[in-house]
Amino acid sequence: MTRVALLSRSANLAYFQPLLQARDDGLDVAVWPDPACLQAEVAVCWNPPAGVYADMPRLRLIHSIAAGVDNLLAGQDTRGLPVCRVVDPQLAQGMLQYVLWSVLHFHRKLDQALANQARAHWQRGVQVAAGDFRVGVMGLGELGGAIAAFLPSLGYDVHGWSRSPREIAGITVHAGQAAFDGFLAHCDVLICLLPLTDATRGILNARTFAALPQGAAVVNCGRGEHLVPADLIAALQSGHLRGAVLDVFAHEPLPPDDPLWRTPGVVVTPHMATMPTAATVAEQVVANIHRLRHGATLANTVDTSRGY
């Protein structure tokens, strides 16, 4: 029998217990803070307790319940153990829908219409063609690459930025730090879909915002730690930035007294852009547990030195 620990300090993962056991009745599943978690061989996690892996002497596998793993690695000693993530083909579709809504929010001036509605003020904003509205996508991995490749089909002028050179039909790709400012200059709306690493932490900062065109907007559906909130608020209050759509935050839920809730031009959504179904998570976790038992190659492993 394999013991599995469902570990989170910010969410109750108990709903995974019957889903995992339905796929393998030989699993002994414990839910944090049950002390039995510390004797588990497999940790299934979202935002696990600080330092918990070091207290699990039998641990053999660390598994995310999502595509991202930064919250599994931050401040933790993984002891060289394998770390796996969930890959769901539907994630790209969900993220595309969220990004497209965000792009339309600014391209079609829905932000201005909503602000005018609050004042009972009738004013039709000047509309521009999609080809004259530049969309920049930071991060051209599995999700960002698919989204950047789709947007030109709607007529948008799309620019992408990644750490290394890539070729994506229909978009202009800027690669490496030397090309970053040139990329930012071509963004009427900037979409952040980067993984969270030491290099990308705080990348949405005052310098980045200053390099964007006057009146640009920002959409962050990467990780909350990409954003320096005070810098965003300052850029909005100065009028340099027009608005922002934020789906992820360094501390979730976003505290009620956080100024982002009340900053004009900011749309806050509760980390809803996209997520794998619970059934998909359970299937992939159990499949990897079976691979672990039989010494087979694990699926969707992560390079912990890169963070993705």
Alpha-carbon gap, residue 94 to 210, rounded angstroms: 30
Alpha-carbon gap, residue 64 to 87, rounded angstroms: 10
Alpha-carbon gap, residue 262 to 232, rounded angstroms: 13
Q: Note whether 273 and 247 are within 8 A (CB).
A: yes
Known catalytic membership, residue 60:
no
Amino acid of residue 123: Q
Map tokens 């929010």 to a residue: 105
Known catalytic membership, residue 223:
yes
- Tell which residue, 45, 40, 56, has the closest CA to residue 10: 45
Identified catalytic residue from 63, 159, 174, 223: 223
**CA of 140: how far to CAs of 143, 181, 230, in Å?**
7, 17, 27
Residue 140: is it exposed, middle or buried by C-beta count within 10 angstroms (0-12/13-18/19+)? buried
Map tokens 């019957």 to a residue: 18
Map tokens 């996209």 to a residue: 274
Alpha-carbon gap, residue 43 to 53, rounded angstroms: 8
* Token pair recorded at residue 119: 């004042």
Q: Note whether 192 and 225 are within 8 A (CB).
A: no
Amino acid of residue 174: H
Identified catalytic residue from 271, 290, 293, 294: 271
Active-site residue list: 223, 271
